Structure 1
């Protein structure tokens, strides 16, 4: 099964929730009126797109309907798809740059699949010919270090780690020195997954960034936030907290398979202005892939074109 087919299968529950809800609204209304907009907005909210994003979609639809002088609901189905596509069509350039040292700082709370995600990205980069080094800077949880060692073995990449409860800054410092001496292409740093209060989170991330910026000032740097899509609006709240504490360059959304809350991907990009760079639709090592907005929308929207005319 190719990734698009896995994506399509993984989005079944989200598709049933979103498209099922929208289809129901269209089936009850033949003409466009205030009740139609109100029920459409409610269907979008129930699909975990959030109040702000759902309101934005319906307002954009109102504007388009008015501009095109449309009267009937069957004329606007494709417009809903176009508006949502526009909301998630962010530039998702490659994580790494050739001929440069690349550093990826991975952040997120415990339980979202952070360590597993690092392992899967490491494997992909290795297969693409990159020399990868991991830094186990989540030192407050022994299982995190052990788990990252397992993934390093699986992906056949090196790892720098200290003992449990060691200073994360010391781990990152040693990893940076090793990356320079070994001429590594990509250094990926795991970080503590505790849900800090904002001040502690900011201080800890600032310390790691200070070390990286001092030792590798010219490196290409990414800060990726890993979120669990099954938590829906909770993931959006986590993202807002982390955004206040860190200069996030991208989101990784895990566990899209088996959840009806995949609509959160639209809310995250729309409300935070941060691109989703990777999505996960399974446990396999190849089940985390770069996010392709067009593929996502095509896998999500499955109504028949002839019904739109």
Structure 2
């Protein structure tokens, strides 16, 4: 009996297995045939219908282009061509409008009175002191002007204005040499640019380079401000605009070494001027001022520094004079560049600088444009300040 049961079980298994194999075949037969001309993804089109390949396409005929019509392989960027700086201060006189409010309109309003009494002269003194002329220069100017008005019997506004203009011009010492020492016979002239943090020193250094190029000088720039990451890039950008090479070192390099290399490069290339930008520093930091002296000493191994320009921010007023004194002790400052003069009502700071420091203001900044740095001309400056029509 047990054998019969086992046999029946085996028979059932065989029957089920056969059915499982038969059903998929029946299902495949029930699939509809593909439409005529259709192919599956696995099938390839007949060889006759295959698109021609690139290798079988007919070659294109060669095109001949004249050599002179081909574009240059390397394009040279167009350089800026700054205009010569002669008379630039006259062209920028409108930028002194804020200073005119204090030194021009204020003074002329008092001087136009029929009678100049003691109160009127005190107002004149106050106007000059407010404009940062300084107490001592103000006293001298007012005393001389009072004497001239008394002796000459001046009565009209025009007469008094002319006399005031002469006294202000005299206070600026027009006989001072304000030319930049930008050339010499036995190699490039070396100009060192110094100043405190935030005075716009690197930007002004770039503008000085434009002044030199505008006046026909060839220039090499030395990026000796190695502490501020963007300083060398900024200076190089200014130089590229006028075709001036910039000598740079790695960030944090020894400033004296970079300055030395810049002068050497200037000697090798035979340029007229080497202009060296130094790091801005606080005037009360002895170590930084000593380092500035080191830069100057290292550069002088090539020869003397011909010019040391101190950048002063006109908006700092009398504080700028204290900064200047410290720099003058560290290096021999030969000239002042007064920046941001268009942004202050205290144009008299120019007179204070001349009087207190005894060194000439050589350039003044009258705007943010690349060519808004002008050689300083005392008479043109005073005429602009006293322009009653401004």
More helix by share: 1
Provide the C-alpha distance between the structure 2 equivalents of 1:13 and 1:128, rounded to a whole number of angstroms. Answer: 29
Q: Is the deviation greater in 107-116 or in 5-14?
A: 5-14
Give the number of equivalent residue pairs: 300
TM-align CA RMSD:
2.4
Cα distance change on mapping 1:206 and 1:98 into 2, 3 Å: closer
Provide the C-alpha distance between the structure 2 equivalents of 1:98 and 1:176, rounded to a whole number of angstroms. Answer: 14
Deviations 1:140-167 (A, max 9, x none): 1112122112112222211111122211
Deviations 1:1-38 (A, max 9, x none): x84565221111110121222133335x5334433322
Name the counterpart of 1:78.
162
Deviations 1:88-120 (A, max 9, x none): 123312432353420000011122221111112
Shift of residue 264, structure 1, vs aligned partner: 1.0
Name the counterpart of 1:11.
96
Provide the C-alpha distance between the structure 2 equivalents of 1:148 and 1:85, rounded to a whole number of angstroms. Answer: 35
Provide the C-alpha distance between the structure 1 equivalents of 2:131 and 2:197, rounded to a whole number of angstroms. Answer: 25
User: Whose Rg is larger?
Assistant: 2
Q: Is the 1:229–1:255 Cα contact (8 Å) retained in structure 2?
A: yes
Give the alignment of 1:64-103 within 5 angstroms: 64-65=148-149, 68=151, 70=153, 76-88=160-172, 89=174, 90-100=176-186, 101-103=188-190
Say which of 207, 217, 220 aligns to 1:120: 207
Structure with the bigger RCO (C-alpha within 8 Å, sep 6+) is: 1
Secondary structure of the residue aligned to 1:147 is helix
Provide the C-alpha distance between the structure 2 equivalents of 1:259 and 1:285, rounded to a whole number of angstroms. Answer: 19
Secondary structure of the residue aligned to 1:190 is strand
Provide the C-alpha distance between the structure 2 equivalents of 1:105 and 1:192, rounded to a whole number of angstroms. Answer: 11
5+ residue gaps, structure 2, are 1-86
Give the alignment of 1:247-286 within 5 angstroms: 247-286=332-371
Give the alignment of 1:127-166 within 5 angstroms: 127-166=214-253
Name the counterpart of 1:229.
314
Secondary structure of the residue aligned to 1:224 is strand
Shift of residue 275, structure 1, vs aligned partner: 0.8
1:167 is aligned to 2:257: no
Provide the C-alpha distance between the structure 2 equivalents of 1:280 and 1:130, rounded to a whole number of angstroms. Answer: 20
Q: TM-score, normalised by structure 2?
A: 0.70
Secondary structure of the residue aligned to 1:103 is strand
Q: Is the 1:65–1:76 Cα contact (8 Å) retained in structure 2?
A: yes
Cα distance change on mapping 1:241 and 1:52 into 2, 3 Å: farther
Q: TM-score, normalised by structure 1?
A: 0.87
